[in-house]
């Protein structure tokens, strides 16, 4: 049986998935590794694949192992006796054997870093075991689960909810939303029916006009089902005209959410929404990209018609998919043109240009200043 191109080569849209994973892990693992309050870190790659493809492209397990190694040796992990525990799985035993051979050859695992396990189980058999492990981790430990399935027939949203239920886990899920949308338009097969019915009764699922509509509906359904304690975001990968695939990120921790937003904006400097294919030598790639913040400016202006604290503005900024750097830039311009009043909590005038929009102030001093449009 011959392998598909996507199994032999790391295609460009798949490389984008791995790049987002890498950017996120580099940032977030660095933070976790340097915190004396965080214990062991558990990472699961449930459809790990073969590691390195015939064209030399590096898949998710190699990116994960390199990110862990870098975080461990450049941080306080050794000082805190912290361990990284990695679990790689794929139902294709040949891929797992290929991955193990590469890992051994490149010496990508070290006992001092943590433990590394390789499994060859069916996803539906493995999921209850993963959830059991997640529920057993200590209060100060953290977990990250990457799910990049071959299709979606075995996926259940209840799995995501159960993985997140300990309050210490984050999930990055890839879905072939283009195929799901196409089936929605042409008659819903059993696999899609089951997946949607878990979220919304199928007869109440709104029909999508485009692939982007389908992704937005799906994201909103995820958010509704998880509730306000969790953050859900998406990263859209466009492979062609109305061909949209998507990564969905789930977390209960706002700092993890912020780090994912930062990773997205590194890949999409204009909108922070996704990636689309450009042909080689495309002149638009030579143009320096600037963030499009007009829509956010309008929303922020409306939001600040009532007095808001720095903590409220921090949360509002992230929930709208923007970074604190974007909000700071807008607020500085408005302050310079006397469009806003910025005061300390006691009513005195605040230091110019200081808005305290960051995670540290959000957790420790979220009522440091008040801001309101004049």
What is the rounded distance in angstroms from the CA atom of residue 7 to the CA atom of residue 23? 23
Q: For residue 316, give the 3-state DSSP assignment.
A: helix
Identify the CA nearest to 159 among candidates 208, 194, 184, 202: 194
Over the chain (374 residues), the average pLDDT of each successive run of 10 is: 48 80 93 89 96 88 94 75 93 96 92 94 97 96 96 91 96 90 68 87 85 91 95 89 87 96 94 69 50 94 98 97 97 97 94 96 96 96
Question: Shortest CA distance to 40 belongs to which of 79, 84, 75, 77?
Answer: 84
Sequence-distant (≥ 6) Cβ neighbours of residue 302 within 8 angstroms: none
Q: Kindly give the pairing relationship between strand 243-251 and strand 142-147.
A: unpaired
Class of domain 5-286: alpha beta
pLDDT at 3: 46
Task: Map residue 53 onto helix, strand or coil.
Answer: coil
pLDDT of residue 91: 96
Token pair listed for 167: 């309050």
Instruction: Starting at the earlier edge strand, list the strands of the sheet with 340-344.
Output: 308-309, 369-373, 340-344
Strands 231-240, 114-119: parallel, antiparallel or unpaired by DSSP? unpaired
Name residue 342's beta-bridge partners: 371
Contacts of 69 (CB under 8 A, 6+ apart): 108, 110, 113
CB 172 within 8 A of CB 21: yes
Q: Provide DSSP, 192-260.
A: HHHHHHHHS-GGGSPPPSSHHHHHHHHHHHHHHHH-TTSEEEEEEEEEETTEEEEEEEEES-HHHHHHH
Q: What is 140-176 written as a DSSP string?
A: T-EEEEEE--SSSTT--HHHHHHHHTTSSEEEEEEE-
Write down the pLDDT at residue 160.
97
pTM of the model: 0.90
> What are the residue ranges spanned by the domains of the chain?
5-286, 294-373
Residue 361 and residue 350 in contact, taking contact as beta carbons nearer than 8 Å: no
Residue-level pLDDT at 209? 85
pLDDT at 1: 35
Residue-wise burial string across 193-232, b where 16 or more C-beta atoms lie within 10 A, e elsewhere: ebbbebbbeeeebeebeebbebbbbbeebbeebbeeebbb
């Amino acid at each position: 049986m011959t392998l598909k191109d996507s199994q032999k080569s790391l295609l460009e849209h798949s490389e984008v998935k791995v790049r987002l994973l890498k950017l996120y892990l580099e940032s977030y693992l660095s933070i976790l590794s340097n915190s004396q309050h965080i214990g062991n870190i558990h990472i699961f790659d449930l459809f790990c694949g073969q590691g390195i493809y015939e064209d030399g492209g590096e898949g998710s397990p190699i990116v994960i192992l390199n990110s862990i190694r870098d975080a461990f040796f450049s941080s306080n992990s050794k000082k805190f006796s912290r361990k990284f525990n990695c679990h790689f799985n794929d139902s294709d035993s040949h891929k797992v054997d290929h991955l193990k051979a590469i890992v051994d050859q490149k010496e990508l695992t070290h006992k001092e870093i943590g433990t590394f396990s390789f499994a060859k189980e069916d996803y539906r058999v493995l999921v209850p075991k993963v959830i059991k492990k997640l529920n057993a981790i200590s209060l100060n430990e953290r977990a990250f689960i990457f799910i990049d399935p071959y299709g979606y027939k075995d996926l259940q949203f209840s799995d995501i909810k159960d993985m997140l239920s300990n309050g210490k886990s984050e999930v990055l899920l890839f879905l072939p939303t283009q195929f799901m949308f196409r089936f929605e338009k042409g008659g819903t097969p059993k696999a899609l029916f089951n997946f949607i019915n878990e979220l919304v009764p199928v007869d109440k699922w709104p029909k999508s006009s485009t692939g982007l509509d389908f992704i937005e509906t799906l994201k909103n359904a995820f958010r509704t089902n998880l509730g306000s304690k969790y953050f859900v975001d998406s990263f859209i990968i466009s492979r062609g005209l109305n061909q949209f695939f998507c990564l969905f990120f789930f977390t209960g921790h706002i700092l993890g959410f912020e780090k994912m937003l930062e990773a997205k904006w590194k890949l999409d400097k204009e909108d922070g929404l996704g990636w689309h294919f450009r042909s080689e030598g495309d002149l638009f790639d030579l143009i320096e990209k600037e963030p499009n913040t007009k829509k956010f400016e309008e929303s922020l202006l409306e939001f600040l018609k009532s007095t808001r604290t720095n903590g409220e503005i921090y949360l509002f900024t992230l929930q709208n998919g923007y970074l604190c750097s974007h909000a700071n830039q807008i607020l500085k311009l408005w302050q310079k043109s006397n469009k806003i009043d910025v005061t300390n909590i006691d009513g005195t005038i605040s230091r110019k240009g200081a808005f305290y929009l960051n995670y540290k102030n959000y957790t420790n001093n979220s009522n440091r200043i008040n801001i309101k449009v004049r």
